[in-house]
Amino acid sequence: MADFIPLSVPNFGPREAELAGQAITSGWVSTSGARVAEFEQAIAAYLGMPRAVAANSGSSALHLAAMAAGIRPGDEVLVPTLTFIAAVNPLTRYVGAEPVFIGCDDTLCIDPDAVEDFCANRCTLRGGRLYNNRTGAHVAALEAVHVFGAMADIPRLSDIARRYGLVFIEDATEALGTRYTAGPLAGRCAGTMGDLGCYSFNGNKIVTTGAGGMLVSNHDDWAGHAKHLSTQAKADELQFVHDEVGYNYRMTNVQASLGLAQLARLEEFIAVKKARYDRYRAALDGVRGLRILPFDEENTRPNYWFFSLYLKNSGLDRDTVIRALQAQDIQTRPVWALVHEQADYPKNEAYALDKARDYRANIVNLPCSTNLSEADCDRVIRAVLAL
């Protein structure tokens, strides 16, 4: 019987075990310990940012971003509907705000045309603040999620955010390593161009600490505030004086040790991801109506996190494909159920949904672990072609 091929699992080697083992043997396992600051500095250096703030998950990093950005109860936030729900809840419900959902363009990321249309035609700008004509609420922020490692359209989204007074938050939880290679933003990494950017080191991410996250900001005081909020807002370490409602969102020294070892291998991981992506593409794209959705390789260097097999013109049905591959011990998945259709959001506005619905209906994500062998990749290809 053939081995199980998982969708996306960690790729750990001797260095991960060595660094984490040092932390455990030394007893420096908790949220104090030098590796946390070292990992923050390593991520900041990789991204070209002055500092980075570690957190215990990507969700925590996004919640910290919402608080640092000053999103308040009753505010509204423009968010994509084609994303994991943890991209939405921390920026909205965790802080008492409401989402306005926007569909995607062909990068799978939030559609700038639809964002512009909402701001220009459904809102009013008064005194530098945007108000939703329908609800009267203050539209405080715009979130772009770099879906599957693809770069969202940062130049246009940044410009919209600037013109309409919106805080611009990049959810780069899936896009560590994605960067522009052409144009005025050449060299800039996903997550570093908005007011705030968040990363995830969850188990399925390209770099993992088991669970973990990171926040960066182009406002140094926002990053400092996020750090403060992540450590229970302790204003006096000895006397346990706290100057606002804080959280225990700290990363542990063991997690940071894993992250340091993983980050050193990020470029290697991206090279493997690209090789497997190219292999799927050569074998499947354009064959029998199948497509492997493209990344923008002209203007960006994506991190190739997740690969999307697009079924629309193939005559194949998403859930049938997933079940047939599962029966052959090949794990795949659909895109997330659109967030605006989830139980918590029936009353929220949602616009420009056609492409999001189409991609939701027609994408199957193929196995993409960085330890996926060429042989296993070929087994997946054969299984797809035999459908």
How far apart (Å, rounded) are the C-alpha atoms in residues 224 and 192? 16
Nearest Cα neighbor of 213 from 178, 177, 251, 243 is 251
- Residues facing residue 333 across a β-bridge: 365
Residue 277-316 contact track with a copy of itself, rule CB under 8 A, x = bound: ----------------------------------------
Interface residue with a copy of itself among 25, 121, 127, 298 (CB under 8 A) is: 25
Instruction: Find the binder of a copy of itself among 132, 252, 300, 308 (CB under 8 A).
Output: 252
Residues in the interface with a copy of itself (CB under 8 A) total: 63
Q: Does the protein bind a copy of itself through residue 32 (CB under 8 A)?
A: yes
| Number of other residues whose CB lies within 10 A of the CB of residue 231 | 16
C-beta closer to a copy of itself: residue 62 or 154: 62
324 binding a copy of itself? (CB under 8 A): no
Among 2, 4, 21, 41, binds a copy of itself (CB under 8 A): 21
Tell which phi-psi region holds residue 107, choosing left (phi > 0), alpha (psi between -120 and 50) or beta.
alpha
The string over 172-196, giving b where at least 16 C-beta atoms fall within 10 Å of a residue's C-beta and e elsewhere, is bbbbbbbbbbeeebeebbbbbbbbb
User: Does 236 interact with a copy of itself (rule: CB under 8 A)?
Assistant: yes
Task: Tell me how far, at minimum, the Cβ of 182 lies from a copy of itself, in Å.
Answer: 34
Q: Is 327 a residue that touches a copy of itself (CB under 8 A)?
A: no
Q: DSSP class of residue 315?
A: T
Rounded least distance, CB 233 to a copy of itself, Å: 8
| Beta-carbon contacts of residue 224 (< 8 Å; ≥ 6 apart) | none
Kindly tell me which of 248 and 373 has the beta carbon lying closer to a copy of itself.
248
Which residues in the 99-138 window bind a copy of itself by CB under 8 A? none
Quick one: 28 or 307, whose CB is closer to a copy of itself? 28
- CB-wise, 90 or 191, nearer to a copy of itself? 90
The CB-of-334 to a copy of itself minimum distance in angstroms stands at: 6
168 closest CA partner among 222, 131, 113, 206: 222
CB closer to a copy of itself, 94 vs 351: 94
Place of tokens 């896009």: 175
Place of tokens 């991410």: 205
- Would you count residue 274 as binding a copy of itself (CB under 8 A)? no
Shortest gap between Cβ of 22 and a copy of itself (angstroms)?
10
Binding test (CB under 8 A) with a copy of itself, winner from 1, 121, 245, 346: 245
Angle formed by the axes of helices 253-263 and 14-26, to 10°? 160
The token duo for 147 is 């879906």
Contact 23, 15 (CB under 8 A): no
- CA gap 200, 171 in Å, rounded: 9
Q: Report if residue 178 touches a copy of itself, rule: CB under 8 A.
A: no
User: 338: left (phi > 0), else alpha (psi -120 to 50), else beta?
Assistant: beta
Nearer to a copy of itself, 154 or 198 (CB): 198
Specify which residues 365 forms β-bridges with: 308, 333
The yes or no reply on residue 248 touching a copy of itself (CB under 8 A) is yes
Which of residues 121 and 239 has its CB atom nearest to a copy of itself in the complex? 239
Indicate the Cα dihedral angle 283, 285, 286, 290, nearest 10°: 110
Residues that bind a copy of itself (CB under 8 A): 9-12, 16-17, 20-21, 24-25, 27, 29-32, 56-60, 84-86, 89, 93-94, 96, 202-204, 208-211, 232, 235-236, 238-248, 250, 252-255, 258, 322, 333-337, 342-344
